Chain A
Amino acid sequence: MTPEMLIFIIIATITLGAAFMVVSSRNLVHVALWLIVTLFGVALLFTLLSAGFLAIAQVVIYIGAIAILLIFAIMLTRRTKEDVKSTFNSNWRWALFIGFLFFTGLLVILMNWSGIAAAPPELDSRANPVVEIGLALVNPNGYLLVFELASVLLLAALVGSIFVAWDRRK
């Protein structure tokens, strides 16, 4: 077993354990904090794949913005200090069964894929990944359309939020 593998197993265990705590924890704020541990675990997995930019973007966007807004919203709701009795309802067996089915399906597909055991290609140490990502995003043959669509979506959300918050009394 290589050291990378060991680190991967540790990170994956933490991520999955935290993900389980997200659904099973009885205190809403603790749920949000466990979610942050999960998201951080994903960021560490990106680092392990030498995708530093993605890892840091994950921390900035998911932990810095989304998770904090989530906690903020939870804290503004009432009775968050009271624990709920149980987070499971009678359907948990079905959920477990379907989850298991999906997992095995994915596993079978991936095991039949030829690339599963291939070593990752060596990265060019002189290339700057940030520059490469930037060029790919504005390249018509790359992701220009997706990039522009995402910008329009975000702009629409911005305009919408201004419209909702607009004071019509003036």
Chain B
Amino acid sequence: MTDPLNALAAWFQTILLNWGLPENVVSVILAVIGVVILCVFVLLVDIFLVWIERKVVARFQDRLGPNRLGPFGLIQPIADVIKLLIKEDITPNGASRFVYNIPPIIALATVLLMWAVIPLAPTILGADINVGVLYIIAIGAISTLGILMAGWASNNKYALLGAFRTVAQMISYEIPMLISLLIPVLLASSMGLNDIITDQSVWNILIVPLAGGIFLLSSIAELGRAPFDLVEAESEIVAGFHIEYTGMKFGLFYAGELLHALTVGAIFAILFLGGWRGPGVNLPYVGPFLGIFYLFIKAFIVYYVTMWFKYSLPRLRIDHMLGFNWKFLTPLALVLLIVVAILDKVLANANVSITIYVLVMFAANILIGWAAISWAKVYTRREREHFDQKNNTNSFQTQLSEENSSAVQS
């Protein structure tokens, strides 16, 4: 037994069995303990995430961020939690009470459910189900449902508008996300997350970088984070679906959103960055902890990238966003899937070495990406010319003159 955590579990199991408990009861007790430990760990990380988010946004906006409570303001999130807990809990008039109270729980619970299938280390994982990728999609669908319920039950026009936008956005962006998820599944020929990691002797991001890009973009849209945060566009619909929620109910939405972003980072790390793979994961005793460490480092790097997007790009318009999905991302993902499937079979039959395989795949991805972007460039230029002809304007010139005038003003 080279894995301390599993050894601990086995030791505890023998103790319980010696007490005379039946075997199935013991396995249920162990499973419950495992779930509680995993949830507590993930939720503690979540509290820490609030601090990271506030610190990073502060640095992006040239501020200091929380720095009063504790070293580097580390105790600030705990103060936030206490504040949220003692705030008044308000239910709006005319709200459907039962439906109104469930969505905050769904928002956080669905994210925690995703951690059930995430392999933290080669031997430490909740459930190694053979449809792990599909399971994550299913849980995402349930979280959409929670937002829809919140928007409807609040009895507020802005909340309902926010919910409508969410559904339009999530249903559309689910398609390129699913297709780009199919590519790592195809390369590993398995839908189990642990199988996908074991199969990545070369990280998938080097084989199919374009699929990684599509997955990252569409999952940022699924998260409803900027630049796709029309769900809660402050200037248009105040706060969207969670406008009526106060106190800890809002807190659950907020915690769910942050944790969901980290979870997407972890899923990206598993599918494209090799998950727990890294030097020394097969060492006895320290290996599993190294695996957890590598997974979280990779997840946090992806999380940082999503924050980078969030704080440096302006919000998109809703028709642009949906057009981008249906006219650009979805066809691109479909073409990529077909090309990768054919190339994978051809190269496997040709018996090429792994270096040539990776190089050919990488080149094909870059080529498709380049072609798609140049086509998009031509298309948007044509659209803009049509628009100018219709309105007798010249958007290139107006843009230039606006830039000039603002330069003069400043």
Contact = CB atoms under 8 A, between A and B. Distances in A.
Nearest to B153: A29
Interface string B154-197: 01000010011001000100100000000000000011000000
B373 to A, nearest CB: 25
A11 interface: no
A81 B137 CA distance: 31
Contacts of B145: 36, 63-64, 67-68
B85 interface: no
B101 interface: no
A129 interface: yes
The DSSP consensus for interface residues of chain B is helix
Interface stretch (B126-134, B231-239, B399-407): B126-134
Contacts of A53: 130-131, 134
A67 B174 CA distance: 15
B142 A56 contact: no
B152 interface: yes
A130 B196 CA distance: 15
Given A56-B131, A57-B134, A59-B138, A64 B190 contact: no
B219 interface: no
B167 A72 contact: yes
A40 to B, nearest CB: 9
B148 interface: yes
A21 interface: no
B357 interface: no
Contact of A75 (B96, B130, B140, B164): B164
A65 interface: yes
Contacts of B24: 3
Interface size class of B (residues with CB under 8 A): 20 to 34
Interface SS, A side: helix
B161 to A, nearest CB: 11
A33 interface: yes
A3 B24 CA distance: 10
A36 to B, nearest CB: 7
Interface in A53-77: 53, 56-57, 59-60, 63-65, 67-69, 71-72, 75
Contacts of B141: 59-60, 63-65, 68
B149 interface: yes
A53 B137 CA distance: 13
Interface residues of A, number: 25
A57 B155 CA distance: 32
Given A64-B137, A129-B130, A71 B142 contact: no
Interface string A1-43: 0010000000000000000000000010110010010000000
Contacts, number: 68
A128 B134 contact: no
A81 B95 CA distance: 10
A21 to B, nearest CB: 12
Contact of A72 (B99, B129, B164): B164
A68 B135 CA distance: 18
A52 B131 contact: yes
A27 B137 CA distance: 29
A56 B133 CA distance: 10
Interface centre among B131, B134, B171 (most CB of A within 10 A): B131
B382 to A, nearest CB: 13
B131 A130 contact: yes
Contacts of B204: none
Contacts of B138: 56, 59-60, 63-64
B144 interface: yes
Nearest to A3: B24
A128 B152 contact: no
Given A56-B135, A56-B138, A75-B152, A64 B164 contact: no
Interface of A: 3, 27, 29-30, 33, 36, 52-53, 56-57, 59-60, 63-65, 67-69, 71-72, 75, 81, 128-130
Interface of B: 24, 94, 96, 99, 129-131, 134-135, 137-138, 140-142, 144-145, 148-149, 152, 155, 160, 163-164, 167, 171, 174, 190-191
15 contacts: A29-B96, A29-B99, A30-B96, A33-B99, A33-B149, A53-B131, A60-B137, A63-B142, A64-B174, A71-B148, A71-B152, A72-B164, A81-B94, A81-B155, A128-B190
